[in-house]
């Protein structure tokens, strides 16, 4: 039996990821902004949800299928966009997309991918969405959107919570930019942590080494390099007005990611989006904002029947997914949960993360007395502890 197959929880995969990765890369996955209050609260808030099961119900089989944007998914969760995933494992985005497709669910590719979007789409049998930043400016983004359309991506995810990059203190302390700069003088103080993880280093160098982003092609210099991302984000703020030209160019479903208040859900619907994702960027942007689960009911109420609602943030167990579905999410996005698996073992690690969550969701449904995820509603949860915590 392999080490990966012995992992019983996402926490087990996290331990394996930490062993394989140098600190600089593990902390890139693990860390959040500033004091990391929101990062911690994203997971902790699920402790405030109490389930209300129905007894004496025999569900020999349960359905985990759901429909989002008219597409059928075999699982009620998708793999979230994670930038720079190729730092974790060679060809990481392609491997994650393949694992998602094998499981019958979707993969969302970040603009800041280390793999060409065409290669990622070709790697999966399932639906793939493209998450867009306007880094490089409108003309650069337009070319990437057109490529995504031609490659067969079926939805465009527009992230609206990154007017600047969050203050992620672990990165400068670990020398992230220095290690990926290629400058020997800048790298020297931090190189020890990398040399102590030779298995990761061999894979990283064998995969091409220093990071660049082939889906952000600058007119004069070619693919954007890692160290250029921060300044580029600050010059590429997405506004509600941008959704007009994005929709016109895309001619397909648009999803707005980074919504935490009802007003923004209504604005997204007014601007023609088909769905929103309740998200605080995994606690990596503004510290001190609400957790995804706590913000979810307000956004669901504001969305009504006009627009679909998804959620991410803090998902570590299948019961977390079920709690979000009970509160009105059509599906959830998982990020760190599968990133740990990827960092531990590549595609088999992602597959193991998916299998763990799938089994958790199925077991939770059976214990709740529900025969399918689409039957879940707020009657299956008691939120009194969560409401007390918000007062």
- Mean of the per-residue pLDDT values for the chain? 93
Residue 49: strand pairing partners: none
The reported pLDDT for the residue numbered 189 is 81
255-294 per-position pLDDT tens digit: 999 999 999 999 999 999 999 999 999 999 999 999 999 9
**Annotated active-site residue in 257, 281, 294, 330:** 281
Report strand pairing: 66-68 vs 308-312. Answer: unpaired
The reported pLDDT for the residue numbered 164 is 85
Instruction: Report helix, strand and coil shares of the chain as percent, to nearest 5.
Output: 50, 15, 35
18-37 per-position pLDDT tens digit: 999 999 999 999 999 999 99
Tell me the whole-structure pTM to 2 decimals: 0.95
- Outline where the chain has alpha helix (H): 10-20, 23-30, 37-44, 92-102, 117-123, 138-151, 170-174, 176-179, 184-187, 192-195, 198-206, 229-234, 242-250, 262-270, 292-303, 318-326, 336-345, 347-368, 384-390
Residue 78: strand pairing partners: 333
Query: Which residues are CB-contacts of 147 (< 8 A; sequence separation ≥ 6)?
Result: 117, 118, 215
Pair 30, 170: CB distance under 8 Å: yes
pLDDT for 185 beyond 90? no
Closest CA to 128 of 151, 103, 158, 112: 151
Measure the CA–CA gap between 74 and 96, rounded to whole angstroms: 16
Domains and CATH numbers, the chain: 4-43+64-365 (3.20.20.70)
The reported pLDDT for the residue numbered 135 is 86
The reported pLDDT for the residue numbered 157 is 98
Could you confirm whether 197 is annotated as catalytic? Answer: no
328-385 per-position pLDDT tens digit: 999 999 999 999 999 999 999 999 999 999 999 999 999 999 999 999 999 999 988 8
Three-state DSSP class for 308? strand
User: Tokens 């911690």 correspond to what residue?
Assistant: 40
Query: Which residues are CB-contacts of 164 (< 8 A; sequence separation ≥ 6)?
Result: 230, 233, 234
Three-state DSSP class for 165? coil
The reported pLDDT for the residue numbered 42 is 97
pLDDT for 85 beyond 50? yes
Pair 129, 154: CB distance under 8 Å: yes
The mean pLDDT value for 208-220 works out to: 85
Query: Which residues are CB-contacts of 98 (< 8 A; sequence separation ≥ 6)?
Result: 123, 124, 125, 347
Measure the CA–CA gap between 100 and 127, rounded to whole angstroms: 9
Residue 6: strand pairing partners: none
Higher pLDDT residue, 216 or 211? 216
Report strand pairing: 331-334 vs 254-259. Answer: unpaired
Give the start-end residues of each E strand in 31-70: 50-51, 66-68
The mean pLDDT value for 82-88 works out to: 93
Pair 49, 381: CB distance under 8 Å: yes
The reported pLDDT for the residue numbered 391 is 46
Pair 371, 313: CB distance under 8 Å: no
List the single range of 102-116, 151-165, 188-202, 358-372 with lowest mean pLDDT. Answer: 188-202
DSSP code, position 241: T
Three-state DSSP class for 171? helix
pLDDT for 73 beyond 80? yes
The mean pLDDT value for 186-192 works out to: 80
pLDDT for 308 beyond 80? yes
Measure the CA–CA gap between 115 and 130, rounded to whole angstroms: 13
Measure the CA–CA gap between 159 and 110, rounded to whole angstroms: 10
Dig out the tokens for 18 from the structure: 């930490």
| Residue 126, burial from CB neighbour count under 10 angstroms (0-12, 13-18, 19+) | buried
Report strand pairing: 77-79 vs 71-73. Answer: unpaired
HSE-CB for 56 with a 13 A CA cutoff: 0
pLDDT for 387 beyond 90? no
What share of the chain in percent tops pLDDT 70?
Answer: 95
Query: Which residues are CB-contacts of 38 (< 8 A; sequence separation ≥ 6)?
Result: 32, 280, 283, 286, 287, 288, 289, 290, 291
The mean pLDDT value for 89-114 works out to: 97
The mean pLDDT value for 208-236 works out to: 79
């Amino acid at each position: 039996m392999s080490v990966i197959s012995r992992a019983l929880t996402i926490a087990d995969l996290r331990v394996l990821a930490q062993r394989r990765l140098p600190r600089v890369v593990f902390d890139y996955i693990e860390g959040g902004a500033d004091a990391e209050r929101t990062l911690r609260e994203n997971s902790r808030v699920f402790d405030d949800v109490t389930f209300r099961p129905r007894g004496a119900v025999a569900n020999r089989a349960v359905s985990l299928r759901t429909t989002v944007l008219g597409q059928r998914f075999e699982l009620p969760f998708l793999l979230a966009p994670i930038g720079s995933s190729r730092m974790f494992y060679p060809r990481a985005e392609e491997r994650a997309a393949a694992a998602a497709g094998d499981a019958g669910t979707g993969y969302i590719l970040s603009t800041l991918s280390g793999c060409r979007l065409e290669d990622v789409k070709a790697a999966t049998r399932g639906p793939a969405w493209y998450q867009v930043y306007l880094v490089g400016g409108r003309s650069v983004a337009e070319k990437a959107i057109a490529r995504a359309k031609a490659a067969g991506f079926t939805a465009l995810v527009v992230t609206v919570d990154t007017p600047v990059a969050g203050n992620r203190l672990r990165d400068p302390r670990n020398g992230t930019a220095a290690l990926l700069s290629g400058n020997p003088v800048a790298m020297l103080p931090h190189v020890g942590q990398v040399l102590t993880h030779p298995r990761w280093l061999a894979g990283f160098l064998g995969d091409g080494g220093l990071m660049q982003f082939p889906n952000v092609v600058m007119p004069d210099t070619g693919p954007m390099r890692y160290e250029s991302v921060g300044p580029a984000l600050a010059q590429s703020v997405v506004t509600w007005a941008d959704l007009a030209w994005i929709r016109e160019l895309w001619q397909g479903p648009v999803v707005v990611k980074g919504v935490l208040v009802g007003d923004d859900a209504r604005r997204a619907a007014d601007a023609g989006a088909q769905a929103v994702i309740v998200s605080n960027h995994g606690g990596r942007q503004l510290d001190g904002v609400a957790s995804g689960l706590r913000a979810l009911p307000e956004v669901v109420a504001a969305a009504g029947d006009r627009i679909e609602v998804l959620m991410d943030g803090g998902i570590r167990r299948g019961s977390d997914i079920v709690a979000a579905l009970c509160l009105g999410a059509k599906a959830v996005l998982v990020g760190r949960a599968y990133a740990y698996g990827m960092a531990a073992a590549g595609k088999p690690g992602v597959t193991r993360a998916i299998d763990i969550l799938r089994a958790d969701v199925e077991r939770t449904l059976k214990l709740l007395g529900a025969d399918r995820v689409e039957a879940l509603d707020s009657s299956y949860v008691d939120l009194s502890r969560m409401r007390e915590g918000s007062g």
